[in-house]
Every structure is written in structure tokens, then in C-alpha cells.
Amino acid sequence: MNQDKETLLQLEYMEKCRDLLMEKSITGSMPTFHIFTSGCQMNVLQSDSVTAWMEKMGCIRHDSEDADIIIYNTCTVRENANQKIYGHLGLMKNLKKKNPNMRIVIFGCMMQEPHVVEKIRKEYPFVDLVFGTHNIYKFPELFYRMETSGGQIIDIWKDTDEIVEGLPSSRKYFFKTGVNVMFGCNNFCSYCIVPYVRGREKSREPEAILEEIRGLVSDGVVEIMLLGQNVNSYGKTLAHPITFAQLLERIEEIEGLKRIRFMTSHPKDLSDELIEVMGKSKKICHHLHLPLQSGSSRILKEMNRRYDKEKYLELVRKIRAAVPDISLTTDIIVGFPGETEEDFQETLDVVRKADYDTAFTFIYSKRTGTPAASMPDQVPEDVVKDRFDRLLALVQEKGREISSRFTGTVKEVLVEEESKEPGIFTGRTEHNLLVHFPADKEMIGRFVPVYLKECKGFYYFGEMAKGQEA
Ligand code: 5AD
Ligand code: SF4
């Protein structure tokens, strides 16, 4: 279907939903909704889109779970996220008994797994609407079906070729937001469920991305985060292919945009061209998230990552040569099937050498349907736990040392919000380092020079550097 036509159709459904909700309202007030999001930045962005639709329908956003409509946007990368959702649904059952008018909506990655949908159908029949990752743009239509039917609506698509443009969005911060550049993943890392639940890689047209960013900038956005499972392979499948580095150069030209971030980068696709563009750029932030997953070349092969320890460390060297003060962050999995103590030592070795500011560490989680799930030699739980603790201790020790390197300098901070402590505000440097400092509300959304007085581990305490240039 023509994309504009699809957006118009959904706008029509949105109007119909609004009329219906108004008709149904006994008190005259519109229903409240609460949206619970787990998982990555992509999910956050998709929740923003659903929030925008709900608000356009006249519903009122509510901060806690005692709302009329509860919406779950789910993640299934690791098993514990799934368990959390089932736990929530268990609680919802009682709430819904007390308030039968309550509606429960659940969508996202976890719903792309047939066994999950089967479980919801059988064990949680009180859930009103279930949909996946490919038909989120049909939210108003799905919502309308839910409101006009008596039973549970389940609508899951296996995959889609379509990227629908021009959908509404409602962002948390007026001055920064994420922007999708691509959807899906073709890499099939052997432990990962994402390619099965997000489908094949699809890039947005560069013009659509540029137009969206121009619109955001004219609406007050100064910082954007370009999002994709593997942004380094952006553009390869377009009718007129372009590289991610070329896209970045075009985004850089947008006047008024001050900071560009992106994630996630796959080491196998991080090109010299991209490193060069990062080195030249005035707007690309000096932060790179470069998932390592394992430091052992043997395990990396089993993981189907298509790089080895040496290639990874060589990349780190090249990036640091082009952008000497760059902050590197990473993801690491412990306990992949067959991982030996020697393999694990290789991971520790990379952590010692790569000088990460932060590393997100995960215990390997067996995902049904992935090749790793049926690999022999799954590592015993106590061994994994012991390795995880040792890795975490090293990551924290190194992280404290590395991220304190800016102590005593002045950095430009984009002020985000007031912290829990009144009068103390938080913001981020271009290195993505968190800074707490005394300020006032007017500073929110502005760049201010901050003297980084003390590094407290994962954040700095600072003070505004009056009269100094960042
Ligand atoms: N088990 C543990 N961690 C995983 N990740 C992806 N799949 C799994 C899994 N099965 C981690 C990877 C990825 C991050 C988003 O989640 O480190 O980079
Ligand atoms: Fe999963 Fe690998 Fe794709 Fe990342 S690149 S989403 S880890 S399959």
C-alpha cells in the first residue's frame, strides 16, 4: 500500500477511536493509559509512537499502573525480560477482576515468538490486544478492533517489506530524540533472537531520514541518536545504495543540529570511511558503542560474529588514532556454550586493553530457536556466575579509571533534567558521560560549560564554569 495512504488510513482510525472513547465515557473524562517499555532504544522510540497515537485519541498519560489502559512493549533478548512480563500479567489479572473496563495491550519482540502468543492465548485470556513488531504502524486500527470486539485480538505478522513514514511521535525530551535509520538484522549471531523477531534488514530512504531530522531540528531538537541493530550496514539494500558514513555527512549539514550519536555498530562492518568521517566531524559525538561479546576468537567464531580478537583490537586502535579522546563502550556475554576459562581470560584481556568507559555485561541466555540453544557444553550456572562477577569487577575498576580522565577539565554538557536532589541537574557530555551539577530549570535543553570537579565512578560532579568556553 502507498505509505501516505496508510498513514492517512491510520489517522482516520485514530479519529474513530477518539469518537468511540468519548461515546463510551460515562463520566465525560477520557481514559488514562500507562505504557511500560522494556528493551532497547528502538523500543523506546516505538513506545513514543504509540504514546503519540494514544494522546491523539484523547487518552491521558498516567505515570503508574493504576490506569484504564495498560500497554506493554516487550523485549525478548534475554529470558529474564520475558519472566518479568509474565509476572506483571499475573498481577494484572487481579486488577482486571476489580475493574473489568480495564484494557491490557501487549506488543513488541516477545510477541513475535509463537510459543509466547500461545501462552498468552491460553493462560492470559484477559489480555485484550496482542501484536508484534511489524504492524506497530497499524496501532489505531488495532486499537479500534479491540474497542469494537468482545474478545482477545491477536495480530502478528511474520515479516514486512514496508516502512511506513510520517507517523506521529511524542518524545520525552524536547531537545533530543532517537531516529530510526533501519529496522531488522541479517547477522544471525548464533545466540541472538533479534533477527527472528525483528525480521530482515530494511533501511529507510536517506531523504526520509533527513526530512525527519530537519523537522525535529525546527521543533527544537539539538541532539539525535540514529538507531538500528547494525547501523554500519545501513543503505546496502536500498535501490540507490549509500553508506552509513555518507548518510552521516549529509546529516552533519543540517543547520541547527548540534550533536549526532548512533548505535549499534557491528565491528565487522565498521569501515575506514566511517572512522575517517568521525575523525573530521564537528557534530558526531566522541562516543562509540562497539559490542565485543567475547574476547576469544574461538568463541567469536561460534557466535558467528565474523571478526576475531585481533581484528577487534585493531579497530579500537584505528578509532583511537582518528578520535583520540573517544569514549568506547561495549556489550559482553559471559557463559556462551563451550566457553572455557581460557576463553574467558581472553575476554578479560580485551577489557584490559580496550579501555572502555563502560561495558554492559550479560549472562548468556538460552533463546529457543537460535543455533546456540542446541550447542553442547552449556556452561554450568555457578561457573558463569563466578566469571560474571570477575568480569564485572574488572569492568568497574577500569571504567572508574578511564572515565575519570576528564577530571579538572571543562566540557560542554547538554542539560537534561533535575535529579532526585532538588537544585542538582543532570546532563551528558559528548562522551556520553553523566554529569550532576547545580543549575536551574531554564538550563534544560541548553549546552552549558561545566567544570568536572570529581569523578564518582559512573558520573561526574561538576559546577558551571562561568565565563569559560567549553
Ligand atoms: N544472552 C545474553 N545476552 C544477549 N544479548 C543478545 N542476545 C543475548 C543472549 N541470548 C546481548 C548482546 C547484545 C545486547 C543487546 O544483548 O550483548 O549486544
Ligand atoms: Fe543480534 Fe547480532 Fe543482530 Fe546484534 S548484530 S541484533 S547481536 S544478531
Q: Which of 274, 287, 283, 263 is nearest to 318 (CA)?
A: 274
Q: Is residue 51 within 8 Å of residue 86, measured between CB atoms?
A: no
Q: Is residue 156 within 8 Å of residue 117, measured between CB atoms?
A: yes
The SS3 of residue 299 is helix
Q: Is residue 40 within 6 Å of ligand 2 at its C-beta?
A: no
391-403 pLDDT tens trace: 999 999 999 999 9
The SS3 of residue 113 is coil
Q: Is residue 191 within 6 Å of ligand 1 at its C-beta?
A: yes
CA of 363, closest atom in ligand 1: 2
Q: Is the dihedral of CA 197, 150, 64, 22 positive or negative?
A: positive
Burial bucket for residue 239 (CB in 10 Å: 0-12, 13-18, 19+): exposed
Q: State phi, psi for 466 to the nearest 5 degrees.
A: -65, 135
pLDDT tens for the 470 residues of the chain, in order: 456 789 899 999 999 999 999 998 877 789 999 999 999 999 999 999 999 999 999 999 998 888 999 999 999 999 999 999 999 999 999 888 888 889 999 999 999 999 999 999 999 999 999 999 999 999 999 999 999 998 899 999 998 888 888 888 889 999 999 999 999 999 999 999 999 999 999 999 999 999 999 999 999 999 999 999 999 999 998 999 999 999 999 999 999 999 999 999 999 999 999 999 999 999 999 999 999 999 999 999 999 999 999 999 999 999 999 999 999 999 999 999 999 999 999 999 999 999 999 999 999 999 999 999 999 999 999 999 999 999 999 999 999 999 999 999 999 999 999 999 999 999 999 999 999 999 999 999 999 999 999 999 889 999 999 765 44
Beta strands in 342-446 (DSSP E): 358-363, 410-418, 424-428, 434-438
Q: Is residue 192 within 6 Å of ligand 2 at its C-beta?
A: yes
Q: d(Cα 202, Cα 199) in Å, to the nearest integer?
A: 9
Q: Is residue 333 within 6 Å of ligand 1 at its C-beta?
A: yes
Q: Which of 115, 110, 114, 157 is nearest to 137 (CA)?
A: 157
CA of 372, closest atom in ligand 1: 10
Say what the pLDDT of residue 28 is: 76
Q: Is the dihedral of CA 424, 286, 266, 290 positive or negative?
A: negative
Beta strands in 339-391 (DSSP E): 358-363
Full DSSP string of 46-112: HHHHHHHHHHHTT-EE-SSS-SSEEEEEE--SSHHHHHHHHHHHHHHHHHHHH-TT-EEEEEEGGGG
389-402: burial string, b at 16+ Cβ within 10 Å, e else: eebeebbeebbeeb
**Residue from 191, 229, 304, 350 whose mutation best tests the ligand 1 pocket (most atoms within 8 A of CB):** 191
Say what the pLDDT of residue 2 is: 52
The residues near 371 (Cβ < 8 Å, ≥ 6 apart) are 188, 190, 304
Q: Model pTM?
A: 0.94
To the nearest 10°, the Cα dihedral for 196, 197, 199, 205?
Answer: -150
CA of 77, closest atom in ligand 2: 1
Q: State phi, psi for 8 to the nearest 5 degrees.
A: -65, -40
262 C-alpha to ligand 2 centroid (Å): 16
231-249 pLDDT tens trace: 999 999 899 999 999 999 9
Q: d(Cα 199, Cα 397) in Å, to the nearest integer?
A: 38
Burial bucket for residue 430 (CB in 10 Å: 0-12, 13-18, 19+): buried
SS3 content of the chain, % helix, strand, coil (to 5): 40, 20, 40
Q: Is residue 77 within 6 Å of ligand 1 at its C-beta?
A: yes
Q: Is residue 189 within 6 Å of ligand 2 at its C-beta?
A: yes
**Residue from 41, 44, 77 whose mutation best tests the ligand 1 pocket (most atoms within 8 A of CB):** 77
Q: d(Cα 439, Cα 422) in Å, to the nearest integer?
A: 10
* Tally of helices (H runs) and strands (E runs) in the chain: 13, 19
| Residue 406 per-residue DSSP state | G
Say what the pLDDT of residue 1 is: 47
405-424 pLDDT tens trace: 999 999 999 999 999 999 99
**Residue from 192, 266, 294 whose mutation best tests the ligand 2 pocket (most atoms within 8 A of CB):** 192
Q: d(Cα 88, Cα 69) in Å, to the nearest integer?
A: 14
Full DSSP string of 154-200: EE--S--S----------SSSSEEEEE-EE------TT--HHHHH-S
Residue with cell 562497539: 290
Q: d(Cα 392, Cα 150) in Å, to the nearest integer?
A: 50
CA of 366, closest atom in ligand 1: 10
| Residue 125 per-residue DSSP state | T
Say what the pLDDT of residue 467 is: 60
Question: What number of other Cβ atoms are within 10 A of residue 287's Cβ?
Answer: 21
Q: Is residue 223 within 8 Å of residue 414, measured between CB atoms?
A: yes
